[in-house]
A and B are shown apart, each in its own frame.
Chain A
Amino acid sequence: MATAAADADTTAAKPKSVRSCTICKSRRAALKRPKTLEQICKECFYSVFEDEIHRVIVDNHLFKRGERVAIGASGGKDSTVLAYVMSELNRRHDYGLDLFLLSVDEGITGYRDDSLETVKRNEIQYGVPLKVVSYKELYGWTMDEIVKLIGLKNNCTFCGVFRRQALDRGAALLKVDKVVTGHNADDIAETVLLNILRGDIARLSRCTSITTGEDGPIPRCKPFKYTYEKEIVIYPCSMNTLTHSSRMHTSNDWITSLLSVSFNFNIRCSSTSLYFCIYSPNAYRGFAREFIKDLERIRPRAILDIIKSGEDFRISTSTKMPEQGNCERCGYISSQKWCKACVLLEGLNRGLPKLGIGRSRGLDNDRNKDTKQTNGEKNIQSKQCGTLDF
């Protein structure tokens, strides 16, 4: 998968002479850029890759000077490269940002403790302070314990809902103004497709915006929105050769760790056991993922085109979007009376783990009405916890 340069020789059968880089026109081309299929040298790839992200950050006004920004760090390839690029750009272009690493420990033995090691190494190597929030301390449950209780079905619901909130809470603890995540172009294209297949027009309308949750307390943004996964994977490799020339300020450790991430990714992709969560085979997403990869093989720009489509869809603003309120229990944003995490947690604590899982349209609607009424009458007479009918 990562050997883009090797497998992408479908076009341009030029004579065998040494190709020079199409950007600088002087050095020898070393790789075929996955995004454009241009033959370029490592140096140019390196600068193009970073400049594109810089442009994205500047053009979209992602940050303001003096802001505190948390980088959602999972220890995977995307967030590791993001952490490096962010700190590099922050210094080079003097964004004036205070950067932090923020990790969530789901408590999955053999999966997360491993990647947390990577993040901890990053903290030391680059001096970006790290904060780890764990499900255990936030919710009193680790994912291992949850799986033990509810089995392998639906466990992703818990993990997903909890992680989203954990990240926000961690960010609040760090008192940051923004969270950046390592979602790349492939991820976003995949989400656009999934939302079409699923019929979720509300999510479809917002899944391509580079910054989300601007009305909430801590907005999130995705500087890698237009960055191809393939390029993220080969980026650390190309950097390796540059250490001695232009990158003297970059500590060797960093590159080693980036490389190890990339290297691990390559291995993990073939063996799958490490990179993908041990509790989630995730078949449906995988389906769409495979499709995106097929598209990319025929036409690399398809990924960008899907994102463009997602941005251009004519979705009328009058389409009813769910109202956003706050959870009555924990204060987190929620369209319902209680946020999903509280509902799930309540289920876990009461020994009814099926609570809040699956479709319960009728009940949900009823509850909706309840909330609206209470909102309308300013009469916060919520039901007793014991009688809540989910």
Chain B
Amino acid sequence: MSCNSGTCQSSCYKDEYSVTDQPPATANYERSNDASLRGGDSNGQNLCIKCKVNETMAATHSAAAAAGGDIGRFCADCFRNNLFGKFRFAVTSNAMITPSDKVLVAFSGGSSSRVALQFVHEMQQKAQKNFDASRDRSLPVFGVGVAYINESIIFPAASNDLNQAVNDMELIVSSLAPPEKQFFVVPTQNIYSPDCAVGKNQLTELVAAVSDATGKEDLLEHLRMLSLQKIASENGYTKIVLGTCTSRIASHVLEATVKGQGFSLAADIQYVDARWETPVVLPLRDCLSEELNTLCSLDSLKTIEVLQQPRSGINGLISSFVQLLQKDNPSRESTILRTAGKLTPFHFNRIPEDGHDNGHSASQRRQRKYNLKPNESLPPKSFCFICNSPLKKSSNTSLDGFENGGTSAGLYTAACSSCQYQILPKDPSSLEYFYSLLPKSMADLENDSRNNHNISVLLDLAQKMQWPAAGSRIKGD
């Protein structure tokens, strides 16, 4: 049913996987029989569906047995390989990490980002090994940094809890060396200025100005991204790795749908999101959170859950709905991702071709093997200045009926309808004030080099009261 559209090869990857993994009757079946004979007491049903030699995790690990789906049918080794395989496939087929890169792993302490960190580390180790072994040492080893965004100013945590958590994370990161990984702990207010006190005030006021619970959460998510971008650009990182997994994306698909962001949805759920100064990559896009949790408990990867915030408002409703659906049908999250994966991605949903490692034809050749769907060549005209989602041309006709409000009308049209509703203040008079609270440090950050979606430009224009048509903000790149 899911495969009849003809364009879904890439997204059916998982299906093919499981299909080939089924014992296709004859030869394999005999082999497994042999194995069970040799193995003595174990019968065919308890054997890993992949290697048919070892016992399944359902039999050996209680954690895996509790998890649903296919997890319990692999042995621990095959499960690990399978998961890492998905990660590696995502990385290589989308040119996420090249030897000359310096990648920044966003680490929240949760299991998804923990696994992302682990896998990036393993990949780096392998690269290091190859580097040490090769004679000409032509391919350098990519660098890895780790960043934790400290949001304690918004979600106050007990200070010893926070210190403990940060210490634990530091320990995790340092135990992954060599090669050495730099660990950043950066508070959210740093997006304003180096002077913490000013930023603190502005940030708390900004967050307090958003009345909608869901809007607040979404704004924070965006600020987190700005923080990561800032760390990356200040420290010379060329990619940002997020641990976003299938389950999270499935929730995001519904969240975006419910918030009326159907147009921009396709931008958020691809392997690569290069609309930022530093491209963001999602190598765990095909991994379920259940699998990642299982891996963490299997390999005793330490996670720090103290600081995790439960999702609220619309987002909370959706994540519990998705959990319910997933319980009902273990492939539901993959189906949701697959549906949304069929939407047309944007031109920025791949690593920009030029300006990156021109010299490494060998690695490039490998990455060309799997090509993305042909992306649309026309870049969208503008981006929402809050959530940075591409705007549809006609979506500027606001539902809220701001026809003629001078600057404020212009400001409204520069945001997507979702941000207009749930983040921007309803009262046009307080809009200017809201703007003054937005992080201005972005001005230095992504100034002239890339002239799109630039908050500083936007603010300047707003102050000069000469609001241009929303379309003229980007000049193409």
On A, residues with C-beta under 8 Å from B are 192-193, 195-202, 204, 287, 291, 294-295, 298-299, 301-302, 304-306, 308-316, 318-320, 322, 359, 361
Contact = CB atoms under 8 A, between A and B. Distances in A.
Contacts of B259: 302, 305, 309
Contact of B260 (A294, A298, A309, A359): A309
Contact of A315 (B313, B342, B418): B342
Contact of A197 (B1, B325, B342): B325
Given A298-B313, A310-B262, A319-B342, 14 more contacts: A196-B254, A197-B325, A201-B5, A299-B313, A301-B421, A305-B259, A305-B417, A306-B260, A310-B257, A314-B263, A315-B343, A315-B344, A320-B7, A322-B4
Given A295-B314, A314-B344, A196 B260 contact: no
A259 to B, nearest CB: 32
A308 B417 contact: yes
Contacts of A193: 254, 257
A93 B122 CA distance: 71
A312 B392 contact: yes
Contacts of B263: 309, 312-314
Which of A301, A311, A320, A361 counts the most B-chain CB atoms under 10 A from its CB? A301
Contact of A298 (B317, B340, B418): B317
B458 to A, nearest CB: 23
25 contacts: A193-B254, A193-B257, A196-B254, A198-B339, A199-B1, A199-B338, A199-B339, A201-B339, A287-B324, A291-B317, A291-B321, A299-B214, A299-B313, A305-B418, A306-B258, A309-B260, A309-B261, A309-B262, A310-B262, A312-B260, A313-B266, A313-B343, A314-B344, A320-B6, A361-B1
A310 to B, nearest CB: 6
Contacts of A320: 5-7
Contact of A359 (B1, B214, B344): B1
Contacts of B7: 318-320
Interface in B374-405: 392, 395, 399
B127 to A, nearest CB: 36
Contacts of B260: 304-306, 308-309, 312
Contacts of A316: 344
Nearest to A321: B5
Nearest to B373: A316
B343 A294 contact: no
A200 B317 contact: no
A314 B343 contact: yes
Given A202-B5, A304-B260, A196 B313 contact: no
B473 interface: no
Given A309-B265, A361-B1, A197 B395 contact: no
Nearest to A208: B262
Contacts of B297: none
Nearest to B346: A314
Closest 10 CB pairs of A and B: A309-B262, A305-B260, A312-B263, A312-B262, A314-B344, A308-B260, A309-B257, A201-B342, A199-B335, A199-B339
Nearest to B331: A199
B2 interface: yes
Interface in B207-266: 214, 253-254, 256-263, 265-266
Contacts of A359: 1
A202 B6 CA distance: 12
Nearest to B332: A197
Nearest to B392: A312
B451 to A, nearest CB: 24
Residue in B256, B335, B342 with the greatest tally of chain A CB atoms within 10 Å? B342
Contacts of A313: 262-263, 265-266, 343
B445 interface: no
B216 to A, nearest CB: 14
Given A199-B338, A199-B339, A306-B257, A298 B314 contact: yes
B274 interface: no
A362 to B, nearest CB: 12
Contacts of B417: 305, 308
B258 A302 contact: yes
Contacts of B395: 312
B165 interface: no
Contacts of A202: 5
B437 interface: no
B431 interface: no
B5 A196 contact: no
Contacts of A301: 399, 421
Contacts of A315: 342-344
Contacts of B2: 199
B304 interface: no
Contacts of A305: 257-260, 417-418
